[in-house]
Amino acid sequence: MRCLQIQGGNPIRGSVVISGNKNAALPMIAAAMLSEEEIILHNVPDILDVRNMLAIAEALGAESKFQNGSLRLRAGSRFSSEPSLPADLCARIRASLLFAGPLAARYGSARVFPPGGDVIGRRRLDGHFYGLRKLGLEMREEDKCFHFSRQRKLQGADIFLDEASVTATEHIMTVAALASGTTIIRNAACEPHVTQLAELLKAMGAQISGLDTNQLRIEGVKQLGGAEITLEGDHIEAASYLSLCAACGGQLTLTGKLPPRHYWMTRRIFERFGLNLILRPNLLTLESNSNLQIVPDFGNAIPVIADGPWPQFPSDMLSCLVAVATQARGTVLFFEKMFESRLYFVDKLISMGANIVVCDPHRVVVSGPARLSGCEIPSPDIRAGMALVIAACCAQGESILKNTAMLERGYSNLAANLRSLGCRVQEIEK
């Protein structure tokens, strides 16, 4: 098992180039199945999740070349009458389901096994099935497999999602691009990666309006062509490194394709810790000291940090902020509204010495600062794993973080980046 050996106690100093948005790259690879022509993506992160999505595309017959952050992908027209995704690859990644709609829309049918991904609570697929059925795709479950088929001509529809699901919005949008007439997705997710996918589809010839809002309008076209696009920086990765600096103290500069508007809420949350995150186009800077302190709400009330659909604070950022709170003077309540298992990792922080009260599966109260001690800990999911890296980097003594393959799903060159910032980190086998 690959592990990270971390000797804590060093402040952070240096810079990191932020990779392209993982959650934009994955649906873009699936969307490439909509066209016979070449799709070129730049600034693609070289992470395990991207490699797994590419492995699925290649298993379906697509040709790909991935080098120095640039990906060339051509689906061609060599699929069977019912393209089938390999079960083992589907189990590795949740985004595997996003192949179903494009394949069924273009070839008439597709067979997809249940997707994998992080175990952070129930992650509904109902929005996917509801929206695809409204557009004209049928789905049945048989022998632990999903069979999608196009029984009639795809037809645009007025679709209201009962939750602003990112992947359901993306899935419906890719199919609607080839559906006759107009599709309206109401209560759509509007995260930056949803917008980036829409921009790729538009470059391929799709007609989509309402970007960056919760109502998307898609005018279907007969076919889509090739396109070339550069991914924006991953705001979750950026927030992870900012959290590392906040917890350990020091100075950090982040560069890359970083639109300031993606970090307005991150800046607001960091202000709750008395931190000043400076936003400039393609440049983020943070300076933190040992006097990290939680700013109470009006009337000296305990503040609440809660997640929610964009532009609220993303759920994927919450775990790292819990680690930061263990090093701040004061008390804060974290309210994870979206996933009932997201906060289960805090028992690992408690074993390291954190002062955390678990109220219920969705809420924890953190009081600090706590003197954390190094220990041997597993990485339960991508974001919890990064939170534990942060805790280990500011803890006294040595920590062994096991199952770092989980972190490789979402972070490129993590160990090297940490060392460049002054963290004492080694990759070991255990």
What residue ranges define each of the domains in the chain, with the CATH number in brackets? 2-19+233-429 (3.65.10.10), 22-230 (3.65.10.10)
| Residue 90 vs residues 32, 71, 223: alpha-carbon distances, Å | 17, 21, 27
Predicted local confidence at residue 123, as pLDDT: 56
CB 425 within 8 A of CB 402: no
The average confidence (pLDDT) of the chain is 93
Phi-psi group of 342: left, alpha or beta (phi > 0 → left; psi -120 to 50 → alpha; rest → beta): alpha
Concatenating the DSSP letter of every residue in 183-248 gives EEEET----HHHHHHHHHHHHTT-EEE-TTSSEEEEE--S----EEEEPPB-HHHHHHHHHHHHHH
Mean pLDDT for 48-52 is 94
C-alpha to C-alpha distance for 55 and 72, rounded to whole angstroms: 14
**DSSP strand pairing (182-186 vs 158-160):** parallel
**DSSP strand pairing (424-429 vs 2-7):** antiparallel
pLDDT per residue as tens digits for the range 330-383: 999 999 988 888 899 999 999 999 999 999 999 999 998 999 999 999 888 899
Predicted local confidence at residue 299, as pLDDT: 94
Task: Kindly tell me if the per-residue pLDDT of 295 is higher than 70.
Answer: yes
Predicted local confidence at residue 80, as pLDDT: 55
Q: What six digits make up the tokens of 318?
A: 């919450």
Give the least confident one: 66-70, 122-126, 133-137, 253-257: 122-126
For 73-101, give one letter per residue: b (16+ CB within 10 A) or e.
bbbeeebeeebbbeeebbebbbbbbbbbb
Beta strands in 87-196 (DSSP E): 109-112, 137-142, 145-150, 158-160, 182-186
Predicted local confidence at residue 117, as pLDDT: 54
More confident residue, 322 or 142: 322
Q: Please name the residues in contact with 422: beta carbons below 8 A apart, sequence gap of 6 or more.
A: 10, 11, 12, 13, 14, 250
Residues listed for the chain = 430
pLDDT per residue as tens digits for the range 82-137: 688 888 999 889 899 999 999 999 888 898 988 875 444 445 788 999 999 999 99
In degrees rounded to 5, what are phi and psi of residue 386? Answer: -70, -35
pLDDT per residue as tens digits for the range 11-35: 999 999 999 999 999 999 999 999 9
Burial (CB count <10 Å: 0-12, 13-18, 19+), residue 287 = middle
Mean pLDDT for 285-305 is 93
- Nearest Cα to Cα of residue 98 among 179, 150, 153, 34: 34
Task: Kindly tell me if the per-residue pLDDT of 160 is higher than 60.
Answer: yes
For 346-385, give one letter per residue: b (16+ CB within 10 A) or e.
bebbeebbbbbeeeeebbbbbbbbbebebbebbbbbbbbb
- Nearest Cα to Cα of residue 359 among 294, 300, 304, 317: 304
Predicted local confidence at residue 405, as pLDDT: 87
Q: 367 has which bridge partners? A: 331, 355
Q: Report CA torsion sign: 171, 173, 178, 179.
A: positive
Predicted local confidence at residue 118, as pLDDT: 45
46 is catalytic: no
C-alpha to C-alpha distance for 406 and 381, rounded to whole angstroms: 6
Share of the chain above pLDDT 70, in %: 97
- Nearest Cα to Cα of residue 41 among 64, 72, 19: 72
In the three-class reduction of DSSP (H, G, I as helix; E, B as strand; rest coil), residue 168 is classed as helix
pLDDT per residue as tens digits for the range 72-85: 999 977 655 668 88
In the three-class reduction of DSSP (H, G, I as helix; E, B as strand; rest coil), residue 293 is classed as strand
- Nearest Cα to Cα of residue 385 among 319, 324, 321, 333: 319
- Nearest Cα to Cα of residue 339 among 354, 317, 366, 357: 317
Q: What six digits make up the tokens of 241?
A: 């490194």
Place of tokens 């019912």: 82
Out of 46, 49, 88, 118, the active site residue is 118
Predicted local confidence at residue 144, as pLDDT: 82
Spacing of C-alpha 339 from chain mean position = 14
Phi-psi group of 205: left, alpha or beta (phi > 0 → left; psi -120 to 50 → alpha; rest → beta): left
Predicted local confidence at residue 340, as pLDDT: 81
This prediction has a pTM of 0.94
Predicted local confidence at residue 403, as pLDDT: 87
Mean pLDDT for 392-411 is 93
C-alpha to C-alpha distance for 393 and 182, rounded to whole angstroms: 52
Helix axes 22-31, 48-59, angle to 10 degrees: 0
In degrees rounded to 5, what are phi and psi of residue 270? Answer: -65, -30
| Residue 419 vs residues 16, 47, 306: alpha-carbon distances, Å | 11, 18, 31
